[in-house]
Amino acid sequence: MAERTADPVVGFWFALEIDGITEATFREASGFGSETQVIEFIEQGAKGVPIIRKVPGNLKWQNITLKRGLTSNTELWAWRQKVIDGKIDEARTNGSIVAYDTLGTEITRFNFTSGWPCKWTSAGLNAQDNSVTIEEIEIAHEGLVRATG
């Protein structure tokens, strides 16, 4: 019998974990990526024919963006406030975005290093609108590793 492949990760239940403590669950997360700059240079090939070579340059990590409904919990704001107050060394922390299956079992995680909130925003308030007010936090970091649960 053929071996069954693993089901793809369903991205509807995930949380931010900082220093091993789950801080918050979110409705949306993005920015799990990296990019290596491409450096092009030209060499002279046989008979003077130019050859374009491409080599890897600097590695750049995307910022992680998390969105959730605004609540009375102010832990994310307090984390951002450290940066605003110039206490960046206090704000830097390692953390994870952890995805769970429908039973609440961890299935994968994205571990980031030296993360700090570089941006925090909240949607406006409108008395004629009954939608949830969304808070968004953007985390700059110095590395991301995908690990399985």
| pLDDT-based confidence at residue 31 (cuts at 50, 70, 90) | very high
Residue with tokens 């925003």: 121
pTM over 0.85: no
Task: List, as one string, the DSSP characters of 59-110.
Answer: EEEPPEEEEEE--S--HHHHHHHHHHTT-HHHH-EEEEEEEE-TTS-EEEEE
Q: Decide if pLDDT at 113 tops 90.
A: yes
- Domain regions of the chain by residue span: 14-148
Rounded to an integer, the average pLDDT of 114-136 is 88
Homologous superfamily of 14-148 = Hcp1-like (2.30.110.20)
- DSSP assignment letter at 49: -
Residue 9 CB: number of other CB atoms within 10 A?
14
Query: Cβ(26)–Cβ(11) under 8 Å?
Result: no
- Residue 80: CA count within 13 A, CB half-sphere: 15
Q: What is the pLDDT of residue 8?
A: 60
In whole angstroms, give the CA distance from residue 93 to residue 141: 9
Q: Which amino acid type is present at position 46?
A: A
In whole angstroms, give the CA distance from residue 19 to residue 143: 16
In whole angstroms, give the CA distance from residue 55 to residue 39: 5
Pairing of β 64-69 and β 28-30:
antiparallel
